[in-house]
Amino acid sequence: MKRRIVFALLCFVGSVYAAPDAQSILKHSDQARGGGLPGIVWEITLRSRDGDKVDEPQRLVVKAVDESSVAETQEPVRFKGSKLLQVGRNMWLIRPGLSKPIPISPRQRMSGQASNGDIAATNYAGDYTAEMDGTQSVDGEPCYVLNLSAKHKRATYDKIRYWVSVKRGVGVSAEFNSLSGKLLKTARFEYANTIAYQGKQIPFVSRMTIRDALIDAETVMEFGTVKVHRIAASEFDLGQMQ
């Protein structure tokens, strides 16, 4: 009897101090990028550089909820009105003057090192399965290290190694890898923005810097004017956009 009681106590203590669930950590970190919110609208400015060559900046307005999003180009003027629509696992490019939307892949590059999925996706937890790989400090900040594997072929990357702050619960750094494990790109995240939701102030990404792993090229995505509010389903209706 005593042995059973001791065993039960050990199991209880073990469950209390068990390692945090990797998928839950990932899902919580998504909020700082728009995931799990009733609807969110923000602006993104993209600045890309390849060596000494600097591309023309792009500015987009993004609306997203759950697994749907639409990013509309505002600048440069010649591309104004172009839209990148994502609904579930599908994505289309809509441009003024085109007779019909063009199916595209989230893995295609939109600007410099930024892929279509980097612009449109807000929900890592929906696209990837997370496994814990210990802890590690990034710039002196303790982080959980998560290994993410794509749940389907429509995910932006096959594998991601993701560092999530233990204290802040936000993604700090990432490595984007191919299916074979080859490093393709790296990313760093900054959180100078905040959003108000359910009486709380939630940190929101203000900058994402994506660097090519092989050449001297990078894209900086700056996020501004972030607001949480519900978005009508018609905003993501492909038929209406046609």
Total residue count of the chain as it appears in this document: 242
- Please tell me whether the peptide bond between 101 and the residue prior to it is cis, using omega within 30 degrees of 0: no
In one-letter notation, the amino acid at residue 112 is G
Q: Which domains does the chain have, with CATH numbers?
A: 19-241 (2.50.20.10)
- Calculate the alpha carbon distances from 189 to 98, 127, 171, 177, 209 in Å: 35, 19, 7, 17, 7
Q: Residue 83's pLDDT is what?
A: 93
| pLDDT reported for residue 188 | 97
**In the predicted model, what is the mean pLDDT of residues 221-231?**
88
Radius of gyration of the chain (CA): 20
Please provide the distance, in angstroms rounded to a whole number, between the alpha carbons at the two ends of the chain.
72
Q: Tell me, what's the pLDDT at 61?
A: 94
What pLDDT digit, counting tens, does each position of 67-117 carry?
889 999 999 999 999 999 998 888 999 998 888 899 999 888 888 898 888
Q: Which of 220, 216, 194, 218 is nearest to 205 (CA)?
A: 194
Percent of the chain with pLDDT over 90: 58
Question: What pTM does this model have?
Answer: 0.85
Q: From CA 163, how far away is CA 130, in angstroms rounded? A: 12
User: CA-to-CA distance for 228 and 41, rounded, in angstroms?
Assistant: 6
Q: pLDDT tens across 17-57, in order?
A: 455 799 999 999 998 988 888 888 999 999 999 999 999 99
Mean pLDDT of 237-241: 81
Average pLDDT of every residue of the chain: 87
Q: How confident is the model at residue 242 (pLDDT cuts 50, 70, 90)?
A: low
Q: What is the mean pLDDT of residues 154-176?
A: 95
Q: Is the pLDDT of residue 185 over 60?
A: yes
Give the pair of three-digit tokens for residue 235: 């905003």
The predicted pLDDT at position 118 comes to 86
CB 147 within 8 A of CB 130: yes
